Structure 1
Amino acid sequence: MAGFAATGAQAQSIDFGDDASRWSNDGECDDPRFEGPGMTNTPLLDADIGHDATDCRAAFEAGRLSLRGGQAPSTGGKGQPAPAAQIVGGINFGDDSGEWSRDGECDDRRFFGSGMASGFSWDHVGRDASDCVAAFQSGTVRMWDYTEARAATQCSAIQFGDDSGSYPNDYECDDIRFEGPGAAMGMSIENMGGDASDCSRLCDYGVVFLRDY
């Protein structure tokens, strides 16, 4: 463990970023800039660079991480500074590091409304800040709330459609109208109304709810 010893000064010199990753605050560092026993055992993704700050800082300060390959501590991966997070209205919108940033549509799955893109996944959370901030400020998106959505969703009143979509009967709801722990990783408008069996069952079980409520 001696090889991973870190000082407070070293930690302060590192831009750990924010907690926009889907895997943040799970007790493991998912940022591939680091290495050591404090890292996750799951595959490392470039999408998590600079987006698991709390976990990685805690592990680094505990001496359970070091910077991978001796790279400069102030960098945010690939030799570039870690993007600064945009915080508006108390919401951490993250940065513009996503593939579809600055295209006039919000791709961050945490939001819903007419300003959203026609497809999104958890990979885009916290990575389309400028688009989502603009939509949020114009009132075309707002933060999806589990409690509000659950209260507003009446499964018996929903027309779920049929099973003509790309992924029927796979035990995940692929219909973009829904959100929750039973929803698929990636959502597309192409599957709207095309995953009825999965979505109706999961709605009845209380693990998917309407996105627009």
Structure 2
Amino acid sequence: MESVERDDLLSYAMIVLLERLTPTERVVFVLREALGFDYPEIAETIEKSEVNCRKLFSRARSKMGITSEELMQTEITSKELIDDFLEALKQGNMKQMVSVLDQNIVLVSDGGGKARAAEYPIKTQDLVAQFLLGPLRNVSMIEGTPYIETAQVNEQPAFILRSNEGIHTLGIIHAEGNLIRNIYIIRNPDKLQKL
């Protein structure tokens, strides 16, 4: 069970969160949380004191804004929730979109400096819904509706928006309590061409 839980740390959501850390904080976090190293082993590996490693780990967890329990929590997202979310996207229905979002929703986007993306995480149901529904005006229409499809990425539910040129946006969804809690948007063309 522990190995399965540790594998969950490799989700895209975790990768996005790890990007908030300094290189040293990232190393300490991965060695401690993902690989299960003890602090003396980490200290020897990175040539810092054990006390310093504990502080780096604590700072890393704080920057990521997550607790140990949240790291190991896995929850299966219902098909109905994803269907409702996609229907709201397709219809451009603000009210329906807000209804499937958790009140503490956080959306993080990655444009890689090559595509438009939000510079900072977007919070609140209204702002996230506006952000999600805005790009649909620019996506090409196929038979009068945006071309949106569901997918699984790193064993997480996701949606793909396509334009005439190919994939426009990939969104990875994380739900808690049958509401969407986090959305990770990828618009960086270098990452999208690997799909």
Give the TM-score normalised by the residue count of structure 2. 0.29
Q: Which has the higher contact order (CA 8 A, sep 6+)?
A: 2
* Largest Rg, 1 or 2: 1
- Give 1 or 2: higher strand fraction: 2
